[in-house]
Amino acid sequence: MGFRDKILHLISGDPVSVGLDIGSHSVKIVKIAHTSNGPLLLSAGIHVFKEGTIEGGEIKNRDELINAITSLVNRADTSGKIRQVNFALSWSHGVVADRIHLRSIKGQPDEELILTEAGRHSPFDVEDIQLDYKILKKDPKSSEMEVLLVAAKNQVMQPFLSLLQDAGLEAINVDVDTFAIANAYLFSANPQDEEKVICLANIGQNVTNLTFITNGTYHSTRDVSTAGSYFVHSLEKELGINTAEAVAVLKNGAEASGNPDAYLRAIEEGAEELSVGLDLAFSYFQSSDSNLEIDKLLISGGGACIDGLAELLSHRHNIPVEILDPFAQIKCDPKKFKEAIPLDISTTLTVSAGLAFRKF
C-alpha cells in the first residue's frame, strides 16, 4: 500500500471503488475495498429491468433505468454511501479504438503528439468525441511507441452520464466494457497463462464481444452478432415454447427442458453459429499479428454458463474453453457473503468487477 493509500486508510478506512455496468437488459454492480492484502469484495448485485428499456445502446425508458439503478445501489449499500462509480460504455455502440505506432519527437510531449495523431485517425469529428489513449509499449532506444487510441461519441456518452447524475451518482471513471473485461481477467488470470494468446468472449444478450490478450496485454476487440438471444430462439423452435419459457430453460439446463435431446440440438445450433463468428474473428486477429494461434478461450457474461456450451466450443475449436470467474482470486467479506458466489452469477458480473478493480 502506497503512502497516499495509507493516509486514506488512517482517515477513512480502505479505499473503496464501485463498478456499475449497464447492459442491454440488466444493471450490475460490484463494490470493492482496496486493502493492503488485495481487493476485498464488499457487495455485488444484478437488477433486471423491463424489456425495451435500452435498445441498440440507446436509452428508451429513462425512468425505468433510473429506478433500476437506484434500487440496485440501495441494495448494494444500505448505508447510502455509494455516490461515485466507475462506469463503462458499450464497445458496440459509439466507441472506436485503434492501435497506432509513433516515434517520440525530442522536445515535444508524447501526449501532444498522440492527440494530434488521434485527430487524424478518428472516424468522427473531433469536436463530437472524447479521446483517450494508453501507451502499450515504448522502446527507449528507438523512441518507437505503440499506442491504443479510444474515441467515444459525446451523443452516446452524455445521456448515460446525465442519467447517472439524476440517479444521484457521479461517474468518476468512464471506461469501455471490453477493457473492463480484460481488467477482470488480469486479476483472475492463471500465472501459467501470462505468455499465452487468450480470447475473452463476453456473451451478452444481443452481441458477443471478443477481446484478445497477448502476453498479458490488450490487443484488440471484435464483435460477433451471435449471442444469448440466438440460443433462446433456437430453444423456442426446437421445444415449441415461448420466449419466457426458453429463457428459463437456458438458465436451468438440459434436464429442465423436459427433452434433453431437443435441448442439445438447439444448443449445438447456437454453438455452431457462434463458432462461425469466432472463426472469422480468429482469422482477422491472426492476419493482423503474425498468425498467432489462440491458446485458450475464456467465456463470460449471461450466456457463458449455458449447459454444454463450453464443451461444444472446445471441441469445435480444439482449444481449452473455460468460464471466466472474475472473483477467482478475490476474497469476499465474510460478513456479507456466507458462501461463494455461484459461477453463473459471478461471470455475469465480469464487466462491473473489472470496473471496480480500478482503484481511482
Q: Can you state the angle between helices 309-317 and 260-288, rounded to 10 degrees?
A: 50
Residue 335 has pLDDT above 70, yes or no: yes
CA distances from 23 to 6, 28, 204, 223 (A): 35, 8, 8, 15
Determine the Cα–Cα distance for residues 292 and 98; give it in Å rounded to an integer. Answer: 19
The larger pLDDT score, comparing residue 131 to residue 74, is at: 74
The answer for residues whose C-beta is within 8 angstroms of residue 172's C-beta and 6 or more apart is 84, 85, 86, 360
- When computed from its CA atoms, the radius of gyration of the chain, rounded to whole angstroms, is 21
Residues 318 and 333 in one domain: no
In a domain, 346, yes or no: yes
User: Does residue 328 register a pLDDT over 60?
Assistant: yes
How many structural domains does the chain have? 3
Q: Are residues 109 and 71 in the same domain?
A: no
- Angstrom distance (rounded) from CA 132 to CA 111: 10
Among all chains, which residue has been given the C-alpha cell 480470447? 199
CATH of the domain at 37: 3.30.420.40
Q: State the average pLDDT over residues 277-293.
A: 88
Cα gap 120→139, rounded to integer Å: 23
**11: pLDDT strictly greater than 50:** no
What's the confidence (pLDDT) of residue 125?
64
If asked whether residues 99 and 38 sit together in one domain, one would say: no
333 has a pLDDT exceeding 70: yes
| Cβ-proximal residues to 32 (8 Å cutoff; 6+ apart), any chain | 16, 17, 18, 19, 39, 40, 41, 42, 330, 353, 356, 357
- For the cut 60, the answer to whether the pLDDT of residue 360 exceeds it is no
Average pLDDT over residues 154-166: 92
Cα separation values, 166 from 58, 163, 170, Å: 17, 5, 9
Local structure of residue 192 (DSSP, 8 states): G
**Pair 271, 228 in one domain:** yes
DSSP percent split of the chain into helix, strand, coil, nearest 5? 40, 30, 30
pLDDT at 5: 42
Domain that holds residue 31: 3-83+325-356
Do residues 319 and 204 both lie within one domain?
yes
Q: What grid cell was written down for 167?
A: 440517479
What is the rounded CA–CA span in Å between residue 84 and residue 22? 15
350 in a structural domain: yes
Please indicate whether residue 108 or residue 204 has the higher confidence score (pLDDT).
Answer: 204
pLDDT for 355: 96
Instruction: Indicate the average pLDDT of the chain.
Output: 88
**Predicted confidence band at 123 (pLDDT cuts at 50, 70, 90)?**
low
Residues 39-57: tens digit of each pLDDT: 999 999 999 999 899 988 8
**Residue 170 belongs to some domain of the structure:** no
Share of the chain above pLDDT 70, in %: 94
- Same domain, residue pair 223 and 314: yes
Residue ranges of alpha helices (H) inside 195-337 are: 228-239, 243-252, 254-257, 260-288, 309-317
State whether 117 and 137 are in the same domain. Answer: yes
Within a domain: 296: yes
pLDDT surpasses 60 at 2: no
51 and 30 share one domain: yes
C-alpha to C-alpha distance for 139 and 82, rounded to whole angstroms: 41
- Whether residue 176 lies inside any domain: the answer is no
Helix (H) or strand (E) holding 176: strand 170-176
For residue 331, is it within any domain?
Answer: yes
CA distance 269 to 248: 18
Digit-coded pLDDT (tens) for 174-218: 999 999 999 999 988 888 888 899 999 999 989 999 999 998 888
Separation of alpha carbons 290 and 285, rounded Å: 9
The pLDDT value recorded for residue 191 is: 83
Q: In DSSP terms, which residues pair with 27 in a beta bridge?
A: 22, 47
Amino acid at 97: A
Whether residues 7 and 78 fall in one domain? yes
What is the reported pTM?
A: 0.88
The percent of residues in the chain predicted with pLDDT above 90, rounded, is 57
- pLDDT value for 226: 95
Cβ proximity of 88 and 351 under 8 Å: yes
Q: Comparing 4-18, 148-162, 265-279, which segment has the lowest mean pLDDT?
A: 4-18
Output the pLDDT for position 121: 65
Highest mean pLDDT (candidates 91-100, 101-110, 312-321):
312-321
